[in-house]
Amino acid sequence: MKALTTALRVAAAAAALAFAAPRATAQLSLDFYPADQEVYPGQTIYYSMWMYNGSDLPLYILGFNDGLVAPGVTTDPQPFYDFMSSLPEPNVLQPYEWVDLTAFSLTADPDAPEGYYIPAGEVFYAEIGGFEQLSAGQSWSVIVWGRRDDQNPVPEPGAAALMAGAVAPIVWLAWRRRGARARV
């Protein structure tokens, strides 16, 4: 009985070790370039990126998010999806494959406010045959040279009253002098 229990324990330990065997993990690296860009009202610029599958497993690219939330600025990730669908095996990065692509375009509206933004873009992916969604991210930055709130200052209501109060005595004195000359 004791030998049977020991044999069962050894078999259970061997089965547990078989499931715990080390396996390769998916590794996707990416970077956006150029690092800093400037955009002016009404202008469209493009960001590129490189991606590298640093594992021995093919990776299925699920999607992309540029991460930018800026008023008056819109992005279009269509170049990313166009490139990924043009690969020999659409949306799949083979093991140790490196790609360089135009990731997205960025357009500043004519009335976009001025600002400096540092969002983090993400690429979502999964191992072929895997069920877990993974992501790789990298930050990028953009300077929007747009409308500034101090370019068209609006005077305070009190400023008009103050100016009228300063002009009123000058007008009154001119009126009085003209009246004095008429009497002489």
Residues 136 and 160 placed together within one structural domain of the fold: no
DSSP character string of 67-120: ----TTEEEE-HHHHHHHHHSSSTTEEPTT-EEEEEEEEEEE-TTPBPEEE--E
**Number of independent structural domains in the chain:** 2
Please give the pLDDT value at position 17. Answer: 42
Instruction: With respect to residue 10, please indicate whether it lies within any of the assigned structural domains.
Output: no
pLDDT digits over 93-138, tens only? 999 999 999 999 999 998 888 899 999 999 999 988 777 889 999 9
Residues 86 and 160 placed together within one structural domain of the fold: no
Supply the range of the domain harboring residue 178.
154-184
Residues 99 and 171 placed together within one structural domain of the fold: no
Residues 163 and 93 placed together within one structural domain of the fold: no
Residues 139 and 181 placed together within one structural domain of the fold: no
pTM of the model: 0.65
